[in-house]
Structure 1
Amino acid sequence: MVRQNQSVFAQLYAITDIVCIQVIFLLSYWLKFQSGWIPFEHSLPFNRYFLWALVYGLIAVGTGYIVGFYTSKRRKNYAFEFYKVIQVHIISLFILLSVLFIYKEVDVSRSFLLLFIMNNILALSFYRYLLKVTQRGMRSRGYNKQFVLILGAGTLGRRFYKSVNHHPELGFEVLGFLDDHKDVHDQPNENMKPILGAIDDLEATLKEHLVDEVIIALPLDAHHKYAQIINVCERDGVKTLIIPDFFDVLPSRPYFDNFAGIPLINVRDIPLDEVRNRLLKRAFDILFSAATLLIISPLLLLIALAVKLDSKGPIIYKQERVGLNRRNFFMYKFRSMRTDYAHTSDTGWTVKDDPRMTALGKLLRRTSLDELPQFLNVLLGHMSVVGPRPERPYYVEQFKEDIPKYMVKHHIRPGITGWAQMNGLRGDTSIEERIKHDIFYIENWTFLFDLKIIMKTFVNGFVNKNAY
């Protein structure tokens, strides 16, 4: 029943979004072409624009279904919904531009499209915000609530109960607990809901109380009861959710996978494991790197000439690094050290006023200009524009023993810039903090997150006080 309701609501949301998009189209068309506030060039007639607005509405709804915009968000906050609105309309804009290109519709006003997309993002975000506030208000008055029964009043159950109480806006209310050890866990002084009975009283409890979800928070030695519990819940049409007794050792976003019909718990959700995400990121890497190399080619030639004149040795320095899936590759940089110190560069940290550095090398390092040849690594598939910075094999062997979860960073391609670097973590900074930021990036990757990091790289500049 719950899933059916969610499906109905998803369809209502989709229809409402299409209607809203058409209303926004009419407003945007009036602002651009009829208000007189914005100068405009000769363009297509109204009916052609209206046709493409309808197409855009269908594209936006289809994209929304693909990225999970129309799934249940009871457990999500508004920030998640706002992010999804932006994601849907940015992706839909690129799809629409592709369709316009295919159909050679070159007379569509680009400034109108920008106005149309911005108005959609603002209007839909405001509409969803009002909807969220209305839902929270209804739930605070007791409407649209989901009633929860927790099986297990031990550490897991009490922890979940406290989490539910910290988020009343989500509309969940705990009715109580069932536990076989009431004399041990019954602690009325903790302001907890009562223990209504033993685990075997589940069927009677479901008949006596209106329960929407049963949360199983039992210890490992009670797993033999799961089958009976699930059977009772499914017979009464109650959703069952399980908190694994070992969840403390799991990362923040594990998920269920499937292999040959056998369910598996994947302990780390990595968005780039999905083919569509990998293809999107790789396509962007190729286009961005090729365009960048073309634009900065005069600067590359100038730096190459300066390196050659500054000191003896090759212009490009190749250094072995550990990349995707722990495979080694050679990372390219403009040479910044004297060649007589080459044998120490793979095992020695660079420090302030490092005697191995050339005069030009210090400037290249401080401004990160020595990193520019790594766009070739991106084109070759060794690296990505955005990702964790790769390290030398010598240090990887040390860090993986001393720093928890250090090797997780090798689940994706390393990058020229990254989330850790945008938070000032490069050069002589904490490796532990870098890894925390790298793992956050890996688990929360989105295309917009990459764009944000790239924009911050340009805004913050390339000069770093910790880069030697």
Structure 2
Amino acid sequence: MSVPQCPECDDIIGMDDEYACAICGRLFHQDCLDPDTDTCLDCTFMADNLDKKTDVGPKKDEGTRLSIKRGLDVVLSCLCIPFLIPIWTVLALVIKIGSRGPIVFKQIRIGQSGRPFVLYKLRSMVDGAEENTGPIWATNPDPRTTPIGRFMRRFGLDETMQVINVLLGDMSLVGPRPERPYFIERLRHQVPSYEKRLLATPGITGWAQIHTDHKYDVSLDDVKTKVCYDIEYIQRWSLWLDTKILAWTVVAILQIRRIPKRR
């Protein structure tokens, strides 16, 4: 086989089927998912396509659908805020009484097309949690979290302030989770097609989160798994898929039942 012309494909052969599946689906607009079982099919066809020029541009009518998605983001966020304000008020009091530091945690994240923005969260860690360590991944359990922080993380309450980011246009309700510049610079050299995640507007919840139980990354393999799902989401995106992800997120948070896993 000749040398691949597409730099994104350099490491695609030899990957786990599920990871390679999502990448080749985005690159070649070829769905290698079984529509009946939602599992990955044989991805050996990639070897025959590596030399082809790929089109990762917008699909037909995507602009209209994205406008509808944006409208739904704004409407749903506005509907949620009146219910969230009393919760935020109570949590703010507990955060302030329980530990020193600000109530709202602000952090620079990277959004669509590499645009930085300020992400808002209710503070779940002790103030200055990374002063001595520098940027590190969060864990579960995390010794840096406060008692109320552990409770908020359990139900995702610390992330609810990101509806403000949604209203500002920095985020969507559904999309790949936004990452910090430090980790993007590091991971784009270690994970093939990592930057493809930046094709989409980042979200509060996503396809990767519901299939990994919203767990934190603790290894490069965890990142690769989530990138697999993120790229698959970008390729398969539809308003109906967003609706299912939002519903599954509520189910997962309430632990009514687990999200069906891929084999």
TM-score bracket, normalised by the shorter chain, equals: 0.7 to 0.9
Paired position in structure 1 for 2:252: 460
Q: CA deviation at 1:366?
A: 2.3
Please list every run of 5 or more consecutive structure 2 residues that lacks an aligned counterpart in the other structure: 1-34, 37-44, 256-263
Q: Is the 8 A contact 1:271 1:443 kept in 2?
A: no
**Does residue 190 of structure 2 align to residue 402 of structure 1?**
yes
- From 282, 289, 292, give the equivalent of 2:80: 292
- From 30, 45, 49, give the equivalent of 1:247: 49
**Does residue 124 of structure 2 align to residue 332 of structure 1?**
no
Measure, in 1, the Cα distance between the counterparts of 2:90 and 2:116.
30
TM-score by length of structure 2 reads 0.72
**Between Structure 1 and Structure 2, which shows a larger proportion of helix residues?**
1
The higher radius of gyration belongs to 1
Identity %: 36
Q: CA deviation at 1:307?
A: 1.1
Q: Is the 8 A contact 1:338 1:357 kept in 2?
A: yes
**Does residue 157 of structure 2 align to residue 355 of structure 1?**
no
> Which whole-Å deviations, capped at 9, do the CAs of 1:274-295 have from their partners, x for residues lacking one?
3212201110111111111122
In structure 1, give the amino acid aligned to 2:137. Answer: W
Q: Is the 8 A contact 1:272 1:445 kept in 2?
A: no
Paired position in structure 2 for 1:369: 157
Q: Is the 8 A contact 1:346 1:392 kept in 2?
A: no
Measure, in 1, the Cα distance between the counterparts of 2:60 and 2:196.
13
Q: CA deviation at 1:249?
A: 5.3
Q: Is the 8 A contact 2:207 2:229 kept in 1?
A: yes
In structure 2, give the amino acid aligned to 1:267. Answer: D
> Which whole-Å deviations, capped at 9, do the CAs of 1:79-123 have from their partners, x for residues lacking one?
69xxxxxxxxxxxxxxxxxxxxxxxxxxxxxxxxxxxxxxxxxxx
Measure, in 2, the Cα distance between the counterparts of 1:413 and 1:434.
16
Measure, in 2, the Cα distance between the counterparts of 1:315 and 1:409.
30
Paired position in structure 2 for 1:428: 217
Using a 3 Å threshold, how does the CA distance of structure 1 residues 438 and 303 change in structure 2: closer, same or farther?
A: same
Q: Is the 8 A contact 2:140 2:216 kept in 1?
A: no
Q: Is the 8 A contact 2:130 2:136 kept in 1?
A: no
Matched length = 209
Q: CA deviation at 1:362?
A: 1.5
**Does residue 179 of structure 2 align to residue 387 of structure 1?**
no
**Does residue 180 of structure 2 align to residue 378 of structure 1?**
no
Q: How does 1:56-205 map to 2 (within 5 A)?
A: none
In structure 1, give the amino acid aligned to 2:232. Answer: F
Measure, in 2, the Cα distance between the counterparts of 1:309 and 1:406.
40
Q: CA deviation at 1:302?
A: 1.3
Q: CA deviation at 1:421?
A: 0.5
Paired position in structure 2 for 1:413: 201
SS of the counterpart of 1:329? strand
In structure 2, give the amino acid aligned to 1:432. Answer: K
Measure, in 2, the Cα distance between the counterparts of 1:359 and 1:268.
45
SS of the counterpart of 1:372? helix
Q: Is the 8 A contact 1:271 1:444 kept in 2?
A: no
> Which whole-Å deviations, capped at 9, do the CAs of 1:3-44 have from their partners, x for residues lacking one?
xxxxxxxxxxxxxxxxxxxxxxxxxxxxxxxxxxxxxxxxxx
Measure, in 1, the Cα distance between the counterparts of 2:199 and 2:252.
27
Q: Is the 8 A contact 1:270 1:443 kept in 2?
A: no
Measure, in 2, the Cα distance between the counterparts of 1:289 and 1:435.
26
SS of the counterpart of 1:339? coil
Paired position in structure 1 for 2:238: 446
In structure 2, give the amino acid aligned to 1:329. Answer: F
Runs of 4+ in 1 over 4 A off after TM superposition: 269-273
Q: CA deviation at 1:356?
A: 2.0
Q: CA deviation at 1:339?
A: 1.4
Measure, in 2, the Cα distance between the counterparts of 1:272 and 1:284.
20
Measure, in 2, the Cα distance between the counterparts of 1:286 and 1:267.
31
SS of the counterpart of 2:204? strand
Q: Is the 8 A contact 1:346 1:394 kept in 2?
A: no
Using a 3 Å threshold, how does the CA distance of structure 1 residues 352 and 458 change in structure 2: closer, same or farther?
A: closer
In structure 2, give the amino acid aligned to 1:449. Answer: L
**Does residue 65 of structure 2 align to residue 277 of structure 1?**
yes
Measure, in 1, the Cα distance between the counterparts of 2:60 and 2:94.
39
In structure 2, give the amino acid aligned to 1:370. Answer: D
Q: RCO higher in 1 or 2 (8 Å CA, sep ≥ 6)?
A: 2
Paired position in structure 2 for 1:25: none
Using a 3 Å threshold, how does the CA distance of structure 1 residues 298 and 346 change in structure 2: closer, same or farther?
A: farther
> Which whole-Å deviations, capped at 9, do the CAs of 1:247-292 have from their partners, x for residues lacking one?
2356xxxxxxxxxxxxxx6522544983212201110111111111
